């Protein structure tokens, strides 16, 4: 008890203005469309992928703003190492993934079709000569340029 009074006398008084209960920072949204606040990951709408966003976190919620649009709003989670996913964000990501897979498949199919049609891509057969023919035309071998072997 003797030390308690000495400790109390050495303590500073509480400042008249409370410290800020929120902070903000800017970050770029990666392909996984999540941002990290403390040790937790919060989902962001996939339309913000690649954009720089402002993240505002306070004691109650985490808000992510891209330009003038709010692309995520989550209740703040105080547990450690959690992934918080909005079902709307997950559905949008699944839809975008499906579109990308469809586009990749369409490109692959177009490439296969182009190879089946031939080198010109129009399906026109082009005569292919032997290389020796060109050597003769440019007099690289005997009998070229109209001179026949005798």
Q: What is the mean pLDDT of the chain?
A: 82
* Assessment of whether the complete model's pTM goes beyond 0.85: no
Is the Cβ–Cβ distance between 97 and 31 less than 8 Å? no
Q: How confident is the model at residue 123 (pLDDT cuts 50, 70, 90)?
A: low
111 vs 64, more confident: 64
DSSP conformational letter for 1 = -
Give the tens place of pLDDT for each residue, 60-88: 999 999 999 999 999 999 999 999 999 99
pLDDT of residue 128: 75
Using pLDDT thresholds of 50, 70 and 90, give the confidence band for residue 150: very low
pLDDT digits (tens, 9 = 90+) for 18-54: 656 678 999 999 989 999 999 999 999 999 999 999 9
């Amino acid at each position: 008890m003797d030390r308690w009074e000495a400790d109390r006398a050495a303590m500073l008084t509480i400042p008249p203005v409370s410290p800020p209960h929120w902070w903000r920072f800017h970050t770029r949204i990666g392909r996984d469309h999540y941002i990290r606040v403390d040790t937790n990951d919060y989902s962001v709408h996939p339309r913000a992928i690649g954009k720089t966003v402002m993240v505002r976190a306070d004691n109650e919620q985490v808000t992510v703003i891209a330009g003038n649009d709010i692309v995520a709003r989550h209740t703040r989670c105080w547990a450690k190492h959690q992934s918080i996913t909005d079902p709307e964000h997950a559905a949008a990501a699944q839809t975008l993934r499906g579109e990308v897979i469809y586009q990749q498949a369409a490109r692959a199919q177009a490439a296969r079709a182009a190879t089946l049609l031939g080198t010109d891509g129009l399906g026109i057969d082009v005569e292919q000569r032997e290389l020796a023919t060109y050597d003769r035309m440019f007099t690289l071998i005997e009998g070229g340029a109209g001179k026949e072997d005798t």
